[in-house]
Amino acid sequence: MKIIRALAITILLAANSRGAAAQETLVPPNSGAILPPMSAEGMSDLPPVSELIPSPVDSDEGESLPLREGGRLEGSMLEGLAPLGVNFDGGFDNFVGSCPALLESSGTWLRRGFWYAELDAMLLNRQWDKHDWILASENQIGTVRPELSQGSVFVGNQLSLGSGKPGVEALPRVTVGAFLFRDADNRDHNAEFTWFGAGEFMQHGELTAVGSNGLQVTDFIDRSALSGAQSNPTFDGATSMAIDYNHTLDSFEFNYAVKRRMRRDQMVLRPDGQWVRQANNTRTLAFLAGLRMFNIREQLNWDAVGVPDSANNGANTATGNYRVDVDNDLLGLQLGGSFGLETGRWSLLGHAKMGAYLNQIDLNSGFGITANDGSDLGSGGTNSTADTLATVGQFGVTGRWHLRPNMSLRAGVEMLWVDSIAVAPFQVNFIPGNYPSISQAADSVYMGVTMGWESYW
């Protein structure tokens, strides 16, 4: 019985050792973990080999179990496994080697390497106000059938900027990261850089007056009365107007991220009796902290033709132009995290990050109305700077499908919110002279989908 117990213990220890080796074969070897060879001094303390090998023990009937060639025990409990197709010839090593587990998937395959990169196409729509921003309009009462003087109708034309226009804009996003180390809690520590931007949200609008009174600038934009001006410094009465509005943004961020890895692989017994090695589905957490910089630039150009010329008996011969350039530079710290489910083939991740920023605003704007003879009928401008605190938050859900262990396709939905910024339409005021105040209470919300690719090497 002693020989049977010794053999059973040997089988269990060898199987456990081989299973551990299978788990770690996908991990790069660590030269620091190799044990040094035992010295001759240490070897002298060991008992002779002959004493370590148990001698045959008689069975209950008084007969010993003979050993066949290759170390196989005749009449042992292993004889009963022969009908299963397991070959015992050649000893215990061949017994273990003839029963390998199939490798179906492994968590050690994923996020392996020294570097990683992510490339996304972001399709975003921007919302910068609750309502459309009306710049000028023409309102009059007309009739449906003038020949019969019947059917009065109100006619209104507007020149406005859509708060949710121009629609979807494509922006690229690039992330490059480096693995720093893996801690004792099976978490990867990474340093990464992310940039996205280069998109331009543009709007263009034109309006031509139908009646003789021309187009009228909206009252909440025409603030000339605040300065007590007696002349007409706005574009009231113009026969036509055109406007162009451009919005661009760029984001740069440096982050230190800690990401939990998947748990150790699991062994699964299939219905056909075959053991397979599979990745262990894991709920993962990640955290990041870093420095982020935002740059938001806007330009507005408003042209008017046929403005009444006070120097020419009110004839519609003057022209007007209003131009606004505003720059928002945001710099601050952010914190973020994510929670997801990772499997051997796909993953689903929810993520969020938010930070407080210092927004340095630079505004340059000016307007002017020029008579037909070149004289100035009214002008004003602003060249001013201001600092304010702003908030930036980003939220999203991203799914991945692993094409290869080091390559995945990704798609998701995201929202970006930027608060306390200056936008160009809110700086239009028609106040003559140098008006230093900056309107800085606007915000922008970007929502859309992302599609991309990521790789590790």
Tally Cβ neighbours within 10 Å of residue 152: 9
Contacts of 134 (CB under 8 A, 6+ apart): 158, 159, 160, 218
Residue 1 pLDDT > 70, yes or no? no
Q: Where are the domains of the chain?
A: 2-100, 108-456
> What gap in Å lies between CA 132 and CA 126, rounded to an integer?
13
Residue 12 pLDDT > 80, yes or no? no
Q: What is the pLDDT of residues 124-173, one digit of tens each?
A: 999 988 888 888 988 766 665 556 555 565 567 888 898 877 778 999 99
- Could you give phi then psi for residue 227, rounded to 5 degrees? -95, 0
Q: What pLDDT, on the 0 to 100 scale, is given for residue 325?
A: 96
HEC states along the chain?
CHHHHHHHHHHHHHHHHHHHHHHHCCCCCCHHHCCCCCCHHHHHCCCCHHHHCCCCCECCCCCECCECCCCCECCCHHHHHHHHCCCCCCCHHHHHHCCCCEECCCHHHCCCCCEEEEEEEEEEEEECCCCCEEEEEEEEEEEEEHHHCEEEEEEEEEEEECCCCCCCEEEEEEEEEEEEEECCCCEEEEEEEEEEEEEEEEEEEEEECCCCCCEEECCCCCCHHHHCCCCCCCCCCECEEEEEEEEEEEEEEEEEEEEECCEEEEEEECCCCCEEEEEECEEEEEEEEEEEEEEEEEEEEEEEEEEEEHHHCCEEEEEEEEEEEEEEEEEEEEEEEEEEEECCCEEEEEEEEEEEEEEEEEEEEEEEEECCCCCEEEEEEEEEEEEEEEEEEEEEEEEEEEEECCEEEEEEEEEEEEEEECCHHHHCCCCCEECCCCCCCEEEEEEEEEEEEEEEC
With a threshold of 0.85, does the pTM exceed it? no
- pLDDT-derived band of residue 80, with 50, 70 and 90 as boundaries? very low
> What gap in Å lies between CA 139 and CA 150, rounded to an integer?
19
Contacts of 155 (CB under 8 A, 6+ apart): 138, 139, 140, 141, 142, 210
Nearest to 392 by CA among 291, 308, 316: 291
Residue 367 pLDDT > 50, yes or no? yes
- pLDDT-derived band of residue 2, with 50, 70 and 90 as boundaries? low
Count Cβ neighbours within 10 Å for each residue of 401-413 and write b for 16 or more, e otherwise. Answer: ebeebbebebebe
Q: Give the pair of three-digit tokens for residue 232.
A: 């007409």
- Which class for 20: exposed (0-12), middle (13-18), buried (19 or more C-beta within 10 A)? exposed
Q: What are 64's strand-pairing partners?
A: 58
Percent of the chain clearing pLDDT 70 (strictly above)? 72
Q: What pLDDT, on the 0 to 100 scale, is given for residue 23?
A: 38
Q: Over range 193-208, report the average pLDDT.
A: 92
| Strand order across the 263-269 sheet | 102-103, 275-280, 263-269
> What gap in Å lies between CA 211 and CA 214, rounded to an integer?
6
More reliable by pLDDT, 74 or 403: 403
> What gap in Å lies between CA 182 and CA 261, rounded to an integer?
9
Q: What is the pLDDT of residues 290-348, one digit of tens each?
A: 999 999 999 999 999 998 887 777 788 889 999 999 999 999 999 999 999 999 899 99
Would you say 438 and 452 are in contact if contact means Cβ atoms under 8 Å apart? Answer: no
Q: Which CATH architecture has domain 108-456?
A: Beta Barrel (2.40)
Tally Cβ neighbours within 10 Å of residue 339: 13
Angle 146-151-156 from CA coordinates, rounded to 5°? 90
Max mean pLDDT range (36-45, 73-82, 85-94, 195-204): 195-204
